[in-house]
Structure 1
Amino acid sequence: MNRVVTGSDLSAKEKKLLFWASFLSLAAAGIGFAFRIAKQGDYGKEFTLTYQEVGQIMGASFWPIAVTMIGFSLLVDRTGYKRPMYLAFLLQAGSGVLFYMADGYTALYYASVCAGLGHGIVEAVINPVCAAVYPKDKTTRLTILHAAWPAGLVGGTLLIMGADQVGVTDWRVHGTFILIPAVAYILMYRPCRLPVDERVRAGVPFKAMLQQVGFLSATLASMLLVYELGNVLGFKTEENWMRNSVIVGVVIGAGFGVYVKSLGRPL
């Protein structure tokens, strides 16, 4: 049986490598976002897209974040952290490749979806990893870690501006800049031992963790997810979709509440 690895088992070098790999994974999401903001006019013009279509492509990177962030937050205890990060890498790198190969609206849309799905997995993994690696300094470390998002925005913008200055103006090439931090972080993660999170280390049962969420939070989250997915995937009924979303949310939340036997607990 494999020995459980905790943060205290890691060397200073391993902790540093994990932290900066996590930083780069979130920075990659920021670089991808900077590209979509800066170059949406360019690919919109090339493919004669309407403003609505350009907005839909941009919006396609948002809702997937919530889906994978919530989903993988419930799964990473069982899968470990490394496999989800491999998937996040494939999604982020795949978004860059799809943008490079895009031939129209559909490819651009799914490139954005991949970017959002990867971003959500990154968020679901790096926060508990950072807290497990630095249990006595988590506030400071998490604050520094989340500076990766604006760092990615600024860095991505500067990369695009710099490329334009040296004559590399093709937006397709700019879309692949996300590969720079993505390849770097996955190479940094590969040799690392990843610790179990604080819940597992403390011996808190999985169901006890879910009791913190309970019926109320599960209902609200389910209602909002169903409503937004209906909007973006087109299976909504215009006149009563909000009502239907509330009903579905209550049903899902009730099932969740019965399973965990909790209404939810305050933070």
Structure 2
Amino acid sequence: MFWLSVLALTTAAVSASLRAAIASSLKAQWIDPIAPVEAGELIGAALGSAFLGFAITLFVASALLDKIGAKRIVIGSGICFILGTALIVGAGAIATGMTIYSLVWLGMMLSGIGWGLAESSINPLTARLYPEETTHRLNVLHAWYPGGLIIGGLAGVFLANVLPWQAIMGLVFLPAIGVVIIGATTTFPPAPAAVEGESFGTMIGEVFRRPSFFVWFGAMFLTASSELAPGQWLDVALTNRVGMRGILLLVYVSALMFVFRHFAGRLAGKLSNPGLLWISSLLAAIGLFLLSRAQSPVAALVASTVWGLGVCAMWPTMLASVAERYPRGGAWALGLVGSAGALASFFVLPALGGMFDEAKVRLAGGPEAFKQLTGEALRQVEDAAASQSFAKLALVPIVLLFVFGAIWLSERRRRATVAAA
């Protein structure tokens, strides 16, 4: 069950990294010719639609997990990845003009639905399997998300000169078919009796009776904005400016995350979850600011290292914090927090694209002037615009320093009071 969960999450990650890897090529071939001024916002919205599908699905499927059954949900995950990928790679063959963009948007959303179906089952399952070491096991499971990013990212880079981007994106079919086959031939255990006894009303009550839950909900929105959105934007924004493929930076950061997540749970045990999240937010803020200033491969690697070490433990540690603090919230509480993280990317990616478009037009001297730019002049304007968009994003984890700092201090004082008593 654990390794099937790993395969499902790896499929989601491969899909995400390949979407990021082919975004520039897709934008150049299909979006730039029909909407040159709005191209950044449009590709950002398309990439963000995957997170919208993820958010909605995670919210709904988590609540219905034990009624629908994990088996059906996992199989549905693989099917959505297959259909979504088919729409992305086949849009140009079956449509023209903005209809192509609409099909790409829909395909990316279907891929996000597949991701949501996967996470809605594997996170509660892991928490049930390992109740005494939830933080550690969720970090180990989610180490395979960056693992999948590495696989997809390297494929996107090294096959770029051999295969068209449509064929590269089509690599998602391989693990997705594996998820369907293995899921269909695996016997899933029934939900534990304790879970069967928890009604949906009980799960809702656990959330709404304890307002502190919404602090974690809001924090998840910001942590995901610091982690997932920049990862999808790296190749579009940094490739020309730093002199290397931005997707390689995502692969490098993913390698850091893959290794570090195997140890993050142990570190959280020493610092506490809020303590680990505070340090993560500090590093993320510094890393994003450095990325906005990077002008060379070395500077980009240094900035990516700081940012990667910052964000690598955020998602699983947030999930573990909610699972430990709101146990009666069940799968729905985890799904609700995960939805917040996904919605963040849905809103932030188009915003990043919009800031990029606004800056490039302003720096060029207006829409008509921008349309006339070519070659080196165009590259310089877009590089400066990309730098400004990353600098604004660095403000997000700064807010988290105050949130997690307050939680960390509050819990330390509570423990000290209990110990003294």
What residue identity is the alignment partner of 2:17?
A
Q: Distance in 2 between matches of 1:36 and 1:24?
A: 18
Q: What SS does the corresponding residue of 2:190 show, helix, strand or coil?
A: coil
Q: How many Å apart are 1:188 and its aligned residue?
A: 1.8
**2:151 aligned residue:** 155
Q: How many Å apart are 1:110 and its aligned residue?
A: 0.6
Instruction: Say whether residues 1:60 and 2:49 are aligned partners.
Output: yes
TM-score (ref. length: structure 1): 0.69
What residue identity is the alignment partner of 1:73?
S
**1:189 aligned residue:** 183
Q: How many Å apart are 1:146 and its aligned residue?
A: 0.7
**2:204 aligned residue:** 210
Cα RMSD (Å): 3.0
Does the 8 Å contact 1:129/1:195 carry over to 2? Answer: no
**1:110 aligned residue:** 106
**1:83 aligned residue:** 72
Structure 1 residue runs without a partner (length 5+):
1-17, 233-267
**1:247 aligned residue:** none
What residue identity is the alignment partner of 2:154?
L
Q: What SS does the corresponding residue of 1:47 show, helix, strand or coil?
A: helix
Q: What SS does the corresponding residue of 1:164 show, helix, strand or coil?
A: coil
State how 1:33-52 maps to structure 2 within 5 Å: 33-49=16-32, 50-52=39-41
Q: Distance in 2 between matches of 1:202 and 1:85?
A: 19
Does the 8 Å contact 1:132/1:197 carry over to 2? Answer: no
Q: How many Å apart are 1:198 and its aligned residue?
A: 4.5
User: Deviations along 1:170-220, whole A, 9 cap, x unmatched?
Assistant: 110111111221112222222222223456457334422221112656898
Does the 8 Å contact 2:79/2:180 carry over to 1? Answer: no
Does the 8 Å contact 1:131/1:138 carry over to 2? Answer: yes
Q: How many Å apart are 1:79 and its aligned residue?
A: 1.0
Does the 8 Å contact 1:100/1:176 carry over to 2? Answer: yes
Q: Distance in 2 between matches of 1:207 and 1:56?
A: 35
Q: Distance in 2 between matches of 1:181 and 1:60?
A: 22
Q: 1:143 aligns with which of 139, 157, 164?
A: 139
Between the two proteins, the alignment pairs up a number of residues equal to 210
Q: Distance in 2 between matches of 1:180 and 1:119?
A: 15
Q: What SS does the corresponding residue of 1:108 show, helix, strand or coil?
A: helix
Query: Identity rate of aligned residues, in percent?
Result: 25
Q: How many Å apart are 1:35 and its aligned residue?
A: 1.3
Q: Distance in 2 between matches of 1:91 and 1:123?
A: 13
Q: Distance in 1 between matches of 2:13 and 2:40?
A: 23
**1:26 aligned residue:** 9
Structure 2 residue runs without a partner (length 5+):
33-38, 93-99, 219-335, 349-421
User: Deviations along 1:25-76, whole A, 9 cap, x unmatched?
Assistant: 1111111111121111111111143222111111111122111111111111
What residue identity is the alignment partner of 1:87?
G
**Rg larger in structure:** 2
**1:120 aligned residue:** 116
Q: Distance in 1 between matches of 2:44 and 2:178?
A: 30
Does the 8 Å contact 2:82/2:176 carry over to 1? Answer: yes
Q: Distance in 1 between matches of 2:189 and 2:49?
A: 33
Instruction: Say whether residues 1:131 and 2:127 are aligned partners.
Output: yes
**2:165 aligned residue:** 171
Q: What SS does the corresponding residue of 2:64 show, helix, strand or coil?
A: helix
TM-score (ref. length: structure 2): 0.45
Does the 8 Å contact 1:132/1:196 carry over to 2? Answer: no
Greater Cα offset, 198-207 or 136-145: 198-207
Q: 2:87 aligns with which of 73, 98, 102?
A: 98
Q: Distance in 2 between matches of 1:58 and 1:66?
A: 14
Change (3 A) 1:58 1:201: closer
Q: How many Å apart are 1:134 and its aligned residue?
A: 4.0
Does the 8 Å contact 1:69/1:123 carry over to 2? Answer: yes
User: Deviations along 1:137-194, whole A, 9 cap, x unmatched?
Assistant: 54433221111211111110112223235x22x1101111112211122222222222
Change (3 A) 1:196 1:171: same
Q: Distance in 2 between matches of 1:27 and 1:120?
A: 13
Does the 8 Å contact 1:129/1:197 carry over to 2? Answer: no
Q: Distance in 2 between matches of 1:200 and 1:96?
A: 38
State how 1:5-24 maps to structure 2 within 5 Å: 18-24=1-7
